[in-house]
Amino acid sequence: MKCLSDIGEDALIQRLVRLVPRDPSPAAGPGDDCAVIDPGPGHDRLQLLKTDALVEHIHFLPDAPPRAVGWKAAARVVSDFAAMGGHPERFLITLALPPLTPVTWAEDLYRGIGDCLKRFGGVLAGGETTSVPAHSAAVISIAATGSVRRPHLTLRSTAQPGQALLVTGSLGGSRAAKHLTFHPRLKETAWLVSNFKPRAMMDLSDGLGRDLPRLAAASACGYELDWGVLPVTEGCTMEQALGDGEDYEILLAVADGEDEALVAAWGREFPDLALTRVGRLVAAGTGDRLQGGWEHFSNP
Amino acid sequence: MKCLSDIGEDALIQRLVRLVPRDPSPAAGPGDDCAVIDPGPGHDRLQLLKTDALVEHIHFLPDAPPRAVGWKAAARVVSDFAAMGGHPERFLITLALPPLTPVTWAEDLYRGIGDCLKRFGGVLAGGETTSVPAHSAAVISIAATGSVRRPHLTLRSTAQPGQALLVTGSLGGSRAAKHLTFHPRLKETAWLVSNFKPRAMMDLSDGLGRDLPRLAAASACGYELDWGVLPVTEGCTMEQALGDGEDYEILLAVADGEDEALVAAWGREFPDLALTRVGRLVAAGTGDRLQGGWEHFSNP
């Protein structure tokens, strides 16, 4: 009998979504960073929906500071809203914890969520606490609503061959440190969609080696990387840059020729954060082929 | 050091929600069945938000049919929308499962969710799958949006002393059978809010012994039960009726004197489902005191 580790996350999701009623005309593909709800032509803002879970031992270790775990749980969701050109609004927080979890652990987790909401916006709208059996992994599941101005909505499925590919920051090394303390690129994407017109965008949660093929596939493109200029975090290998995952940087496509003006303006606006042209989109079936990145159900 | 089982779910939530930014003017209290978002005076419909999780060993046993578990996971959420006078719209489904879970188990779970959505409305808008460590409990977390017509919104915090208390169906025995197959009272509450004016409403998820005190406290009331007429499921004791939980029946308050007309009309509309006047609300600090019901973190 096949089990989840035999087929992996993407194939599993494809099999599952066929089994339930779906939105007949979704405003974004089922694989995008957020679901997009169009309230109708009279509305300037579209609603964004997102859910994301952290699991003990998988996304954080038992001895991780709970305040940092809370920050991470909320920041991952903020990052997904940022990747659509939007911002977060209301959060629903589900804690599934063993009965012997210290109250102070849960409180510090919430403080970390609060740190993130105070910094990036969004309020608690509701939630739930439930027990899991002793010795089961703790699960923190956060669902949230957000919104995006209609002209700012940026999908991952709308890139075209010839467009330039850029990434913010540097890639790799997240597991060593950054994955609990990263800053979602909300301010940066708000500036991007207000001042330029990204043709596609997503956040790098599973590593460029896994996420770039996703963006390209969603847009029916191939891709070519300029390997020599890839912004690899100092002390990391190329393999780590492609495969560590949890960079939470932004991958975006812009029209060919627009990238130079963008990089120049970015440098003035965000002098402390790199924006690097790392390659370009090409016709489907051509270009490079990346492997690696984080795979649920089969990684150790 | 205090742990979660020392303080219980309600006290935990009270401590946690103080630690994060909250909606400064929520349209419903933090303890109601759903969060209520008011999009502004020009809109006839309010948005409802809900999240709910099922945990293996806690809410279902490992040998429970996955299709029934899926039904239950979605039906609990539908029940919460019903309890506000609204209906479900978009679902976000999070599966946190061990890597050796059979693919067919996850597929049957989704089929059960699909059964419920086809029956009660709502579409899949997104979701996530993630692994939990081997031997950790499976967690199914469902977040959903819904909506309610402004005049139909019914909170649990708006009852007043003197009003009649009624419950649908019969109470107790859910753990033996019904908890996996119950039908959320969506059709019934839609009829209720269209034809009568319930003054307060909630669904009975943790047992009348625990949920009635919650409704009364949210409304700053006490309560008196007519013990002799309580609709106890055949074969169950009074203790089970008060304490089993997971009845997913509706508890409502109506104006004193309106209950007779309501019960008569209900009998014509829903001849196969009882609606019973079980007591009344009284001044805070007076009346009965119930105990029992399901308590996360301290039940075995």
Task: Return the domain boundaries, chain A.
Answer: 30-149, 164-283
CB < 8 Å from B in window 142-171 of A: 143, 145
Q: What would the pLDDT profile of B99-132 be if each residue is shown by its tens digit? A: 999 999 999 999 999 999 999 999 999 989 999 9
**Which positions in chain B touch A139 (Cβ < 8 Å)?**
53, 96, 132, 139, 141
Q: DSSP per residue over A49-113, as a string?
A: EEEEEEEBTTTB-TTS-HHHHHHHHHHHHHHHHHHTT-EEEEEEEEEEE-TTSBHHHHHHHHHHH
**Which positions in chain B touch A299 (Cβ < 8 Å)?**
131
Confidence of residue B299 (pLDDT cuts 50, 70, 90): very low
- Which among B244, B238, B249 has a CA at the least distance from the CA of B293? B244
Q: What are A254's two structure tokens?
A: 């812009």
**Which positions in chain B touch A3 (Cβ < 8 Å)?**
99-103
Percent of chain A with pLDDT over 90: 85
> Smallest Cβ distance to B126: which of A21, A35, A92?
A35
Pick the more confident residue, A296 or B272: B272
- Which among B1, B19, B293 has a CA at the least distance from the CA of A95? B19
* pLDDT of A300 higher than 50: no
Q: Mean pLDDT over all residues of chain A?
A: 93
The answer to whether A7 faces chain B, any CB pair under 8 Å, is yes
Q: What are A85's two structure tokens?
A: 């050109």
> Smallest Cβ distance to A92: which of B15, B51, B114?
B51
Q: What would the pLDDT profile of B122-181 be if each residue is shown by its tens digit? A: 999 998 999 999 999 999 999 999 999 999 999 999 999 999 999 999 999 887 667 788
pLDDT attached to residue B293: 58
> Smallest Cβ distance to A20: which of B7, B30, B117?
B117
CB < 8 Å from B in window 45-64 of A: 49-53, 55-59
Pick the residue from chain B with its C-alpha nearest to A31: B126
Confidence of residue A29 (pLDDT cuts 50, 70, 90): confident
Helix axes B186-195, B66-83, angle to 10 degrees: 10
**CATH architecture, domain A30-149:** 2-Layer Sandwich (3.30)
Rounded Cα–Cα distance for residues A73 and A78 (Å): 9
**A155-169, A171-185, B123-137, range with the lowest pLDDT:** A171-185
Q: Is the dihedral of CA A104, A106, A111, A116 positive or negative?
A: positive
The answer to whether A92 faces chain B, any CB pair under 8 Å, is yes
Pick the residue from chain B with its C-alpha nearest to A105: B3
Confidence of residue A100 (pLDDT cuts 50, 70, 90): very high
Residue A161: strand, helix, or coil: coil
Q: Mean pLDDT over all residues of chain B?
A: 93
* pLDDT of A47 higher than 60: yes
State whether B51 and A143 contact (CB < 8 Å): yes
Mutation site, A116, A136, A142, interface B, largest B CB count within 10 A? A136
The answer to whether B3 faces chain A, any CB pair under 8 Å, is yes
Confidence of residue B300 (pLDDT cuts 50, 70, 90): very low
* pLDDT of A287 higher than 90: yes
H helix or E strand, kind and range, residue B292: none
pLDDT attached to residue A295: 60
Q: Is B282 exposed, middle or buried (0-12, 13-18, 19+ CB in 10 A)?
A: middle
How far A256 CA lies from chain B's nearest CA (Å)?
32
**Which positions in chain B touch A297 (Cβ < 8 Å)?**
99, 129, 131
State whether A23 and B124 contact (CB < 8 Å): yes
**Which positions in chain A touch B25 (Cβ < 8 Å)?**
none
* pLDDT of B17 higher than 90: yes
Q: Please give the average per-residue pLDDT across B45-59, as a whole number.
A: 96
Tracing tokens 């399901």 back to the chain, one arrives at: B294
* pLDDT of A176 higher than 80: no
Rounded Cα–Cα distance for residues B29 and B9 (Å): 17
* pLDDT of B8 higher than 70: yes
Edge-first strand listing for the sheet containing B164-168: B200-203, B250-254, B164-168, B275-283, B221-225
Q: Please give the average per-residue pLDDT across A177-181, as a whole number.
A: 77
**CATH code assigned to B8-152:** 3.30.1330.10
* pLDDT of B292 higher than 70: no
The answer to whether B124 faces chain A, any CB pair under 8 Å, is yes
> Smallest Cβ distance to A94: which of B22, B51, B131?
B51
The answer to whether A103 faces chain B, any CB pair under 8 Å, is yes
Pick the residue from chain A with its C-alpha nearest to B122: A21
pLDDT attached to residue A93: 97
State whether A7 and B90 contact (CB < 8 Å): no
Q: Which CATH class is domain A164-283?
A: alpha beta
pLDDT attached to residue B269: 98
Q: What is the pTM of this model?
A: 0.94
Rounded Cα–Cα distance for residues B237 and B163 (Å): 27
Q: DSSP per residue over B176-222, as a string?
A: GTGGGT----HHHHHHHHHHS--SEEEE-SS-HHHHHHHHHHHTTEE
Beta strands B164-168 and B250-254: pairing type?
A: antiparallel
